[in-house]
Chain A
Amino acid sequence: SAVISQKPSRDICQRGTSLTIQCQVDSQVTMMFWYRQQPGQSLTLIATANQGSEATYESGFVIDKFPISRPNLTFSTLTVSNMSPEDSSIYLCSGLGGAGSGEQFFGPGTRLTVL
């Protein structure tokens, strides 16, 4: 399976600022996704990152708050905009393998704390 890296691994940010998280896959994947995981809870899908076009957002998540880019098959970014303490969470990206594989594999996550 592919290996996914994320940068930064963690950050502490001030209210009202924005943070861009990078996700890099070491091989091409057909699909990439962004999830949020609050401490002690399960993962919630934010959006599907589409190559070369606008991301597809899940209910409760909007582009203005979480702009996403995916310029190629191996890289994506998620920006958390105008942050508030409620945005403190772990943000994870995942990739879906090709050749009919349904396996989604995950990056290590970015732990964000907003003060």
Chain B
Amino acid sequence: GESVGLHLPTLSVQEGDNSIINCAYSNSASDYFIWYKQESGKGPQFIIDIRSNMDKRQGQRVTVLLNKTVKHLSLQIAATQPGDSAVYFCAENMGTGGGNKLTFGTGTQLKVEL
């Protein structure tokens, strides 16, 4: 079986409710941020991104908010569905000057209850 690792923070929501997943990032020089969704046994899947010159960006059922003052990101999922159950990671990128490398947050497990 799998080895025991750190337990991810878990957010449980009822189907149809809105979900808000939060992330604190570390580097004030980061200029690009991405939210990823990772389902069990799969690689991370791009959800939505935002650049540092914006504070809000909307996609289909998802919205990302960026607060550079407190280095905080949030992902809002509207009308959460069972298929949204997964681990969600934020990632920060310092751009070309930082080698385009991503630094990932610790992740949040989203559980959608029927």
**A residues within 8 Å of B by Cβ?**
1, 4, 31, 33, 38-45, 48, 56, 58, 88, 92, 94, 96, 102-109
Contacts and interface: CB of A to CB of B under 8 A. Distances in A.
Contact-residue size bin, chain B (C-beta under 8 Å from the other chain): 20 to 34
Contacts of B107: 41-42
Contacts, number: 71
B34 interface: yes
Given A92-B44, A104-B46, 4 more contacts: A44-B104, A103-B46, A103-B49, A104-B91
> Which DSSP category, helix, strand, loop or mixed, fits chain B's interface?
loop
Contact of B3 (A31, A33, A88, A94): A88
Given A42-B106, A43-B89, A107 B100 contact: no
B8 interface: yes
Nearest to A85: B3
A107 B102 CA distance: 15
Interface of B: 2-8, 32, 34, 36, 41-46, 49, 51, 89, 91, 93, 95, 99-107
B42 A108 contact: yes
Interface centre among B7, B89, B101 (most CB of A within 10 A): B101
Given A38-B3, A38-B5, A40-B5, A104 B104 contact: no
